[in-house]
Amino acid sequence: MIVFLLAATLLVSGCGSEKKGDPAAGRRDRLVPVSVSPVLQKTIPLEVSGIGNAEAYSSVPVKSRIGGELKKIHFREGQEVRQGDLIFTIDPQPYEAALKQALANLARSAALAKKAEEDLKRYQDLIRKEYISREQFDQAQANAEALAAALKADQAAVENARLNLSYCSIHAPLSGVTGSLLFHQGAQIKANDDKAMVTINRVQPIYVSFSVPESFLPDIKKFAARGPLPVRVSVDNGTTFSEEGLLTFIDNTVDLTTGTIRLKGTFDNRNKALWPGQFLRVALTLSSQPDAIVIPSQAIQTGIQGQYVFVATAEQKAEARPITVGRNLEGLTVIEKGLKPGEQVVTDGQFQLAPGSKLQIKQAVNPAGEPRP
């Protein structure tokens, strides 16, 4: 009976040792379907990235210089206008009447001044012949001077009345896109009101403002001194704006609360694809790194010993290769150490692999992560 129990125990122990064998052995023996991508050597731009937003190149709130009834609006909200276009008309009738009154006052003053000047000429002859007293002559001279001054005042009043009448027609101060109307036809407008009647934004060209950590400032200044630096922008869905802008502004102060420096790029915005207030991903290119080793970022794994990739060997087996990574750029990662151009790295299916696993390459992809034809 004891012998039988001992034999049974040895049998169970033997089965258990088979189950507790190398867990990766099964993964090494079977074919694992994977996607691979070649290791490339190419020139990679040295970039600084950030989040920014588009800003109008210039923005002007339109206000009336005079008060009165808003008689007519000559545009639609959101319409593009050109500099000098008529956009508002203030009721001109009160100002036309004021101009007529000023002209009448001017005519009266001109007549009186002319009469006083003629009187003064006669008094000059009379004073020489001593037909009048010096006091009478001085009075005539003072009267002529007073009326001449009144004539100038009335001339200024006419010019002011004409100016006010011209303010009844409000023209666009710049070419751009109109915003929301804050007053409508029939409203009473105040002169130089706190609220603008409408705001016009110039969007061609347009600014893109963004901030980067102050640690990049020395490099930005160094490379900017050599020539204009290109700026690229894209939206959240990954679409890259077709036009390339140029860095045109470096703020004169680092933001003490965030430790960032504010920059601006200027874009021609020929197709009006950028719009004021739009949030954008911004990439400022400082220089380029030639002959960089790059792979798709999705190929990189992280283990206890650090980062590594699976390399597809010539025997179609998986080799775990430790690597030293550099910076990332649009789905690519620069490899500082561990890979050579022409090698194949696994980009999909890594979680089923162990060192030495047999590979079934189902698809090759380019370094951007897309299937290769």
Q: What is the pLDDT of residue 364?
A: 64
Work out the pLDDT band at 11, boundaries 50, 70, 90.
very low
> For residue 273, is it left (φ>0), alpha (ψ between -120 and 50) or beta?
alpha
Where does the chain have alpha helices with state H? Answer: 2-19, 25-29, 93-128, 134-166, 217-224
Domains of the chain: 47-57+201-289 (2.40.30.170), 64-90+169-195 (2.40.50.100), 92-167 (1.10.287)
Summarize the confidence of residues 77-91 as an average pLDDT: 96
CB-based burial of residue 208 (10 Å sphere; 0-12 exposed, 13-18 middle, 19+ buried)? Answer: buried
Q: Which residues contact 247 (CB under 8 A, 6 or more apart)?
A: 220, 224, 228, 229, 230, 231, 263, 264, 265, 284
State whether residue 282 is helix, strand or coil.
Answer: strand
Work out the pLDDT band at 310, boundaries 50, 70, 90.
very high
Pairing of strands 245-250, 301-303: unpaired
Work out the pLDDT band at 365, boundaries 50, 70, 90.
low
Q: What is the pLDDT of residue 15?
A: 45
Question: What length does the chain have?
Answer: 373
Work out the pLDDT band at 218, boundaries 50, 70, 90.
very high
> Helix 134-166 to helix 93-128 angle, to the nearest 10 degrees?
160
> pLDDT tens for residues 181-209?
999 999 999 999 999 999 999 999 999 99
What single letter denotes the amino acid at residue 68?
G
Summarize the confidence of residues 234-244 as an average pLDDT: 79
Q: What is the pLDDT of residue 321?
A: 94
Work out the pLDDT band at 327, boundaries 50, 70, 90.
confident
> pLDDT tens for residues 20-68?
455 555 555 678 899 999 999 988 888 888 899 999 999 999 999 999 9
pLDDT at 6 over 50: no
Q: What is the pLDDT of residue 22?
A: 53
pTM score of the predicted model: 0.69
State whether residue 270 is helix, strand or coil.
Answer: coil
DSSP string, 164-184: HHHTTEEE-SSSEEE---SS-
Picking from 322, 342, 310, 329, the residue whose alpha carbon sits closest to that of residue 369 is 329
Beta strands in 39-99 (DSSP E): 40-62, 68-73, 80-81, 86-90
Percentage, residues of the chain above pLDDT 90: 64
Q: What is the pLDDT of residue 13?
A: 45
Average pLDDT, the chain: 87
Residue 27 phi, psi dihedral angles, 5° rounding: -70, -30
Q: What is the pLDDT of residue 262?
A: 96
Q: How many CB atoms lie within 10 A of CB 204?
A: 16
